Amino acid sequence: MTSELNNTRAGFVSIIGLTNVGKSTLMNALVGSKISIVSHKVQTTRQRVLGIMIREKTQIVFVDTPGYFKPKKRLDRAMISSALTAPKDGDMTFVLVDPLKSHFEEHLELIEKTNFPKGSPLALVINKIDLVSKPELLSRIEAFTTAHPFDEVFLISALKAKGLDDLLTYATKTLPEGPWLFPEDQMTDMPSRLLAAEITREKVYKFLHQELPYAIHVETESWEQFDNGDVKISQIIHVSRESQKGMVLGKGGTKIREIGEAARKELSYLMGCDVHIKSHVRVTKNWSENKENYEIMGLDFNV
Ligand SMILES: Nc1nc2c(ncn2[C@@H]2O[C@H](COP(=O)(O)OP(=O)(O)OP(=O)(O)O)[C@@H](O)[C@H]2O)c(=O)[nH]1
Ligand SMILES: [Mg+2]
C-alpha cells in the first residue's frame, strides 16, 4: 500500500457547527464527491459521516457531524452528543459559522460546550461569504476572534467552492505524521445500504416542502447485486402518522415516484452502475425510540 511511503501524514478533521451552516456541503466539496446529504432545512445530518481524501502525502479524514441545536427528543440528544464528542477523537477541528444569521450567541455556546482536545489545532471557518458584504464580514471576524482564541481563520464559500484550497493546504501541513488510516481508494466508511437510505431521505426533503420531513426515517430493506453489476434496492420510508403517508405518496403515487427516480439517478451515478429502487411508505410510530436504528447510525441510544 502507498501508505508505506516515507513522511506520510494522516488524521481526523472534525467539522462542527450550528445546524444548516453548510458542514455537509463543505465536506462534499473538499472531498470532491457527494458523501453526506444536504438540504436547505435544519437538522439534516444525523450521524457522523467520514469523507476521506489524499493530498500530497497526507490522508485527510473529514468528519461531518450533526449540527448543533437545542435538543428536545432522544434522537436530538444522540445527534448532538455525537457532534460534541467528535473533536475529542480528532486531530484538528474546523468550527464552521455562518456570518449571515444572528446566531452569534449560539455559536459561542457551541464552542464552550465542545470538548476540544488540548493543543490540537482549532480553525474558525466562516462560510457563505457569497451572501454577506465585506464590512459585515469584518465585524463578524472581529467578534468571533475576540470571543475565542482560534489558531487560524478562513473565509470560504462551500457552495461556490471559494477558499477551499487554503483549508486543504492547512490540513495537509498540520495533521500529524504517521501512516495512512484507510486504504488509499476509500472515500467513506458509510455502508452502501446506509448511503442509499440517506440519498432517499435527502430526496424526500427536496420534494416535500411541507414541514413533515423530520419525522422521517429511511431504511434499506434489501439489496441485491446481479451478475451484470446492476443493483436492486428495496427501501421503506417510515413516517410517524397516517396523514404523512399520503404526503410522501402524493396524488396517485406521483411524489414517491419522483423521489425514487431522483434517488435512483444519483445512486447510479455514485455507484457507477444501474440501480433500481423500490420504495414503500410505512407508518411506524416511535421509530426514533428503537435502539436498533441508533446502532445502524452509530449513535448512542442512552444519552
Ligand atoms: N449561499 C450559500 N449557501 C450555502 C453555502 N454552503 C452551504 N449552503 C447552503 O446551506 C444549506 C445547508 O447546507 P448543509 O450542508 O446541509 O448544512 P449543514 O451544516 O450540514 O446542516 P445540518 O446537517 O442540518 O447541520 C443548503 O441549502 C446549502 O446549499 C455557501 O457557501 N453559500
Ligand atoms: Mg449536514
Mean pLDDT, range 259-283, rounded to an integer: 95
More confident residue, 261 or 290: 261
CA of 16 from ligand 1 middle (Å) equals: 13
Query: Does residue 52 sit within a domain?
Result: yes
Total tally of structural domains belonging to the chain: 2
Q: Ligand 2 centroid to 63 CA: how many Å?
A: 11
Is residue 214 lining ligand 1, measured as CB closer than 6 Å? no
Q: What is the pLDDT of residues 182-192, one digit of tens each?
A: 999 999 999 99
Cβ(178)–Cβ(64) under 8 Å? Answer: no
pLDDT reading at 115 higher than 80: no
Q: Based on the domain organization, do 217 and 292 belong to the same domain?
A: yes
pLDDT tens per residue, range 188-204: 999 999 999 999 999 99
| Same domain for 143 and 31 | yes
- Pair 112, 224 in one domain: no
* 23-50 b/e (C-beta count within 10 Å ≥ 16 → b): bbbbbbbbbeebbbbbbeeebbbbbbbb
CA of 72 to the centre of ligand 2 (A): 19
Q: Is the pLDDT of residue 105 over 70?
A: yes
Does ligand 1 come within 6 angstroms of the Cβ of 20? Answer: yes
Q: Is the CB of 67 under 6 A from ligand 1?
A: yes
169 & 220 share domain = no
Whichever domain contains 254, its CATH number is 3.30.300.20
The bridge status of strand 217-225 relative to strand 231-239 is antiparallel
pLDDT score recorded for residue 4: 57
